[in-house]
Amino acid sequence: MSYIGQQPLNNFVTKQSQEFTPDGSTTGFTLNFAVTSGTDILLMINNVVQEPGAGNAYTASGTTLTMSEAPGASDNMYCIFLGLALQTVNPGDGSVGTSKLVDSAVTTAKLNSSLDLSSKTITLASNMKNTPAFRAYKSGNTTLSDATQTAVVHDSEFFDTDSAYDTSTGVFTVPSGKGGKYFLNTVTRITGGTANDFISAYVQFEINGTNNEYRQRGYATSSGNFNNDSIEMNAIIDLSVGDTVKVMISLDVASGTAVLVGAPAANAVTIFGGYRIIE
């Protein structure tokens, strides 16, 4: 007939013991095996059982045994480790791997309030980055026509994290998975051949090829006509995947020739850039 319940031990289990050499002045001793408390050992002095615990004969933690009074040099002192031989409740140093931790078990309460990450590499999830991000500039001049809306093509880039800006068309396209609120910025420099060439200038962000869906305008005006000016415009726009954005300009030219100014990167004056805002 089979046995029901926990199987009995087939052999006796030998407990581990340890002898100490007191000198009449030492109160701290090192145990051969780590313990969690004084009750994990049976401590004997001259074959008299000692009582564990704070305020009693001794305390024990880890491999440290602390006596409340120093045993005499002639005392016979030893201990017996209770429970299974060599068994310890505490895992060994450096023995706990990530597979032993429950997912999401480590909270901010368990982290040091000051973490030194200066020599570490931190990889952020895509939704934790201000990307895509781009900044482009116009490298050369372009002549503008009066009362005609013209796309400003910023034909060179400082950077473009997701290759989402097209330098040939001046269009930024929201990449897959990157919809959200975007901060957009543009600076546009215009000039004329002679004084008092312009009456007004308009700069706007064009979304998806139409000015009716969303429009921001910057104005450059004067009590009289003027010859040159820079228009800076910022906007926060909610964009979806596949949406396109480009900068448009139109002028009311009084006389002469209107020029959209471009320059090398070090002196760039006509610029278009932006980035997705972390929400």
* Residue among 82, 83, 37 nearest 60 (CA): 37
Confidence of residue 231 (pLDDT cuts 50, 70, 90): confident
Residue 214 has pLDDT above 50, yes or no: no
Q: Which two tokens stand for residue 131?
A: 């990307």
pLDDT in tens, 234-267: 999 999 999 999 999 887 776 667 788 889 999 9
Q: What does DSSP say about strands 244-253 and 150-152: parallel, antiparallel, or unpaired? A: antiparallel
User: 35-41: which pairs have CB atoms within 8 A and are 24 or more residues apart?
Assistant: 35/60, 35/61, 35/62, 35/63, 35/81, 35/88, 36/61, 36/88, 36/89, 36/90, 37/61, 39/82, 40/81, 40/82, 40/83, 41/65, 41/79, 41/80, 41/81, 41/82
The boundaries of every CATH 2.60.120.40 domain in the chain are 131-276
pLDDT at 186: 93
CA atoms within 13 A on the CB side of 116: 1
Highest mean pLDDT among 110-119, 184-193, 268-277: 268-277
pTM assigned to the model: 0.57
Which CATH class name applies to 131-276? mainly beta
Q: What is the dihedral of CA 268, 274, 278, 279, to 10 degrees?
A: 140
Token pair listed for 40: 């994990």
203: its two tokens: 């700069």
Q: Is the pLDDT of residue 87 over 60?
A: no
Tokens 């006596």 belong to residue: 67
Q: What is the pLDDT of residues 6-62, one digit of tens each?
A: 665 556 667 889 999 999 999 999 999 888 889 999 999 999 999 999 999 999 988
Distance separating the N- and C-terminal Cα atoms of the chain: 68
In this predicted structure, what is the pLDDT of residue 85? 42
Strands (E), the chain: 17-20, 28-35, 41-45, 48-49, 58-67, 77-81, 133-137, 142-144, 150-152, 156-160, 165-166, 171-173, 180-192, 198-207, 217-226, 228-239, 244-253, 258-260, 271-276
Rounded to the nearest integer, the mean pLDDT of the chain is: 83
